């Protein structure tokens, strides 16, 4: 009998993992980069890395279901004659008509309105569906200016000047030709069927000094009634927040790299910008340094999923959060009921991210008349409202446990971090220690 | 309302005169926004603009507004129906996102003149700086003098007429806008090419020149430029063009 040397177990490279290998093969076969939505998918320091301490001998809790815990927030109190008052500190982020179907936009409006919060237009102008069904609608002012007009500006409840998005700070957008229906083409003043490029910077201003003048123009056109938000991607949150305040913003929106609804190159999504968690404290610090914390409101978005995320963001000093991907999932995106169709597209429920291609089995990110019938705007709006209600109740549960009668009374002192990275980013102690990395010279 | 230095034109139309040395920009724009259809306050005059930004923005009634002097950024922004004349020069973004109506600049215009305009007519009797007509979406722009670089960048629709010369990268990434240049073009941008002037273009251009009050200039003196349409749908083989 011959002795065989024992083989080693085949070992795959951590560097050249299965995904990396598949991407190299795909690139070699096609000669083009991969484009997708859904934001950064890599594991990042996130709200899961923070924990609330809860009440103890020195902190007493409030009674669940009995003692009041306020959730309301006012946005735009700095200059606007008509600030927005929201019942909950969770808003629906900007997603364009064109990217989303008309029924999906209507559902977002319905769900937000049922919940007493606002929804937001996107890079495609304002549709009647969303204006009609959104009690409070934020109108985005984007580089492309598709569909921009003074009438819609005046019938908006707030204006959001979009400088960047978390998925692609510094990047523009592309709506592929197959999603350009007659209606989308008309709203964007472009021929049907061609790719529509959304510019990466505004056509008529550059830099913070110009932005100040642009904001003045928007205020003058709307008679200083509307709150003006400035939205930035998670690039340089301290300076971007400070400059937005200097330029006259009522509200600053900071969108971290998990912000997902913008389609762009995979390499861009995964390698440009900062995680949401890393953006919050610098943005809050900028407001505090300027004496503007709680005077200029801060909205943070990118990977908000549940009431714990909401509570943690607020504890770090945020005034409200915004959801995009989670709202689409509540509407029915990536639902396993469409698994066979996801498989036919070469993917699986939960991983589908080719929202830009217009073949969404769930009927949300499409302009296909047959597919979009799958979204019942009333039922989908109800699901979004349910989800927003659950998030709010969850956040209240945590706040009461921390002894807070308002979500906005949560504070960094209520938090600890599970990892050194999260402790450094959030500026809260590593659990079990009093060590905040980067503070006091350590 | 202070009514100082009332001009002859203003008196004839029983107009309202705003002196920005006395009244604020806010008061001016609010008064213009308070106009309702059928108002008999159809002639307005703005004195001492002195480079103020956002003069006469968001007007949506068919009134005439004469601005006596030079203005800063975004004068007549989002104009929707008014006939606005600046008797001076204009800063960046004059007539940005105009919907309808007309704007005449007697002097020169800075960057981004007529940016993203959806309709109406913008006439610049002097020169326009860079990015004139950037991302235009239906506006007609007539420039008596020259225009700067990157003009009509990503221009979607509408017409840009230049009696003088155009700077570098004219019409870069242009969609369906039509460009007519009488003088020299320094260079064309990506996907922008010279095109044949057919009879319908001669007719169109003559109409634009007439509307802009240009005389003594023939459409045949212009060259037409527009999109080669090779970049309309992304193709990796065109990557070198981007």
Residue A173 pLDDT more than 80?
no
pTM reported for the whole predicted model? 0.94
Asked if residues A421 and A333 have their Cβ atoms less than 8 Å apart, the reply is no
Contact between chains at B73 and A210 (C-beta distance less than 8 A):
yes
Contact yes or no for B196/B176 (Cβ under 8 A): no
Q: Which of A317, A311, A236, A234 is nearest to A39 (CA)?
A: A234
ipTM: 0.93
pLDDT digits (tens, 9 = 90+) for A46-89: 999 999 999 999 999 999 888 999 999 999 999 999 999 999 99
Class of the domain covering B51-228 = mainly beta
Structure confidence at residue B3 (pLDDT): 41
pLDDT at residue B4, as a whole number: 45
**Nearest-Cα residue of chain B relative to residue A33:** B236
Q: HEC states along A134-196?
A: CCCEEEEECCCCCCCCHHHHHHCCEEEEECCCCCCCCCCEEECHHHCCHHHHHHHCCCCCCCE
Among B120, B135, B150, the strongest candidate for a mutation testing the A interface, having the largest count of A CBs within 10 A, is B135
Residue-wise pLDDT for A298-339, tens only, equals: 999 999 999 999 999 999 999 999 999 999 999 999 999 999
Query: At residue A90, does pLDDT exceed 50?
Result: yes
Tell me how crowded residue A405 is: count the other CB atoms within 10 A of its CB.
Answer: 14
Give the containing element (helix H, strand E) for A422: helix A420-426
DSSP label at A260? -
Phi, psi at B16, each rounded to 5°: -100, 135
Contact A30 B154 (CB under 8 A): no
Q: Identify the weakest region by mean pLDDT among A62-71, A109-118, A379-388, B28-37.
A: A62-71
Element (H, E) at A423: helix A420-426
Residue B212 above 50 pLDDT?
yes
pLDDT of B162 > 60? The answer is yes
B60 contacts A30? CB cut-off 8 A: no
Question: For residue B7, what pLDDT band results from cuts at 50, 70 and 90?
Answer: low
In this prediction, residue B14 carries a pLDDT of: 58
Q: Sign of the CA dihedral B155, A222, A295, A136?
A: negative
A32 to B112: CB separation less than 8 angstroms, yes or no: no
Residues of B with CB below 8 A from A149's CB? Answer: 78, 80, 97, 99, 118
Arithmetic mean of pLDDT, B7-32: 82
Kindly report the nearest CA distance between residue B138 and chain A, in angstroms.
Answer: 8
β-pair partners for A75: A84
Chain B residue numbers with beta carbons less than 8 Å from the beta carbon of A223 are 29-30, 33
- Say how many CA atoms lie within 13 Å of A179 toward its Cβ: 28
Longest dimension (CA), chain B: 65
The set of residues, in sequence order, having a beta carbon less than 8 Å from that of A346 and lying 6+ positions away, is none
Of A151, A174, A204, the CB nearest to B92: A204
- In Å, how far from its chain's centre is CA A371? 25
Looking at chain A, which residue has its C-alpha nearest residue B113?
Answer: A204
Please, which pLDDT band fits residue B46 given cuts at 50, 70 and 90? very high
Question: What percent of chain A lies above the pLDDT cut of 90?
Answer: 80
pLDDT band at B239 (very low <50, low <70, confident <90, very high): low
pLDDT at position B12 over 60: no
Choice between A262 and A206, residue whose per-residue pLDDT is larger: A206
**A229 close to A248: Cβ distance less than 8 angstroms:** no
Instruction: Give the C-alpha separation, B83 to B106, whole Å.
Output: 13
DSSP A355: G
CATH fit for domain A36-426, picks 3.20.20.70, 3.40.50.360, 3.30.530.20, 3.40.50.300:
3.20.20.70
Separation of alpha carbons B211 and B201, rounded Å: 15
């Amino acid at each position: 009998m011959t002795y065989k040397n024992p083989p080693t177990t085949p070992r795959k490279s951590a560097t050249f993992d299965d995904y990396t290998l598949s991407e190299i093969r795909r690139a070699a076969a096609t000669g083009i980069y991969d484009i997708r939505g859904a934001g950064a998918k890599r594991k990042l320091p996130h709200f899961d890395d923070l924990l609330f301490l809860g009440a103890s001998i020195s902190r007493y809790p409030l009674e669940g279901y009995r003692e009041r815990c306020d959730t309301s927030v006012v946005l735009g109190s700095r200059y606007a004659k008509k600030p927005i008052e929201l019942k909950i500190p969770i808003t629906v982020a900007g997603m364009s008509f064109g990217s989303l179907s008309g029924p999906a936009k209507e559902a977002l409006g319905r769900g937000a309105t049922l919940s007493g919060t606002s929804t937001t237009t996107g890079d495609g102008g304002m549709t009647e569906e969303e204006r009609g069904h959104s009690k409070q609608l934020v109108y985005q002012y984007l580089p492309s200016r598709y569909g921009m007009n003074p009438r819609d500006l005046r019938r908006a409840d707030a204006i959001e000047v979009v400088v960047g998005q978390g998925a692609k700070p510094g990047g523009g957008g592309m709506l592929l030709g197959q999603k350009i229906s007659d209606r989308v083409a008309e709203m964007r003043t472009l021929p049907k069927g061609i790719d529509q490029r959304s510019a990466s910077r505004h056509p008529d201003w550059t830099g913070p000094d110009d932005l100040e003048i642009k904001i003045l123009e928007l205020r003058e056109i709307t008679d200083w009634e509307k709150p003006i938000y400035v939205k930035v991607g998670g690039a340089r949150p301290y300076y971007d927040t400070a400059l937005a305040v200097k330029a006259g913003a009522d509200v600053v929106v900071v969108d971290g790299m998990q912000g997902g609804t913008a389609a762009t190159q995979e390499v861009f999504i995964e390698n440009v910008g900062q995680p949401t968690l890393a953006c919050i404290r610098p943005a809050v610090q900028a407001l505090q340094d300027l004496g503007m914390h709680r005077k200029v409101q801060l909205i943070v978005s990118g990977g908000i999923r549940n009431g714990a995320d909401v509570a943690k963001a607020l504890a770090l000093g945020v005034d409200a959060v915004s959801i995009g991907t989670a709202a689409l999932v509540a509407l029915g995106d990536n639902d396993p009921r469409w698994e066979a169709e996801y498989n036919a597209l070469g993917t699986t429920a939960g991983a589908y991210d080719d929202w830009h291609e217009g073949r969404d089995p769930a009927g949300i990110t499409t302009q296909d008349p047959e597919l979009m019938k799958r979204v019942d705007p009333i039922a989908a709006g109800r699901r979004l409202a349910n989800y927003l209600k659950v998030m709010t109740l969850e956040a209240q549960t945590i706040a009461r446990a921390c002894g807070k009668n308002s979500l906005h009374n949560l504070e960094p002192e209520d938090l600890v971090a599970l990892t050194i990275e999260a402790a450094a980013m959030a500026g809260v102690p590593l659990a079990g220690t009093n060590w905040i990395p980067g503070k006091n010279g350590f | 309302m202070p009514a100082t230095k009332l001009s002859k034109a203003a008196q004839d139309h029983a107009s309202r005169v705003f002196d920005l040395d006395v009244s604020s920009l806010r008061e001016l724009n609010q008064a213009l926004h308070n106009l309702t259809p059928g108002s008999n306050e159809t002639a307005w005059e703005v004195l001492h603009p002195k480079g103020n930004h956002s003069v006469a923005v968001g007007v949506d009634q068919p009134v005439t507004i004469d601005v006596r002097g030079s203005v800063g950024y975004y004068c007549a922004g989002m104009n929707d129906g008014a006939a606005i004349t600046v008797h001076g020069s204009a800063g960046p973004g004059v007539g940005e996102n105009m919907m309808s109506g007309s704007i005449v600049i007697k002097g020169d215009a800075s960057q981004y003149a007529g940016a993203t305009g959806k309709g109406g007519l913008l006439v610049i009797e002097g020169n326009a700086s860079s990015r004139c007509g950037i991302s235009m979406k239906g506006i007609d722009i007539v420039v008596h003098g020259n225009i700067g670089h990157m003009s009509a960048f990503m221009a979607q629709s509408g017409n840009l007429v230049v009696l003088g010369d155009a700077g570098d990268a004219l019409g870069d990434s242009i969609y369906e806008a039509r460009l007519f240049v009488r003088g020299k073009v320094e260079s064309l941008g990506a996907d922008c090419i010279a095109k044949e002037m057919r009879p319908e273009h001669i007719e169109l251009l003559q109409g634009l020149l007439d509307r802009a009050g240009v005389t003594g200039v023939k459409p045949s003196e212009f060259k037409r430029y527009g999109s080669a349409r090779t970049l309309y749908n992304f193709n990796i083989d065109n990557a070198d063009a981007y």
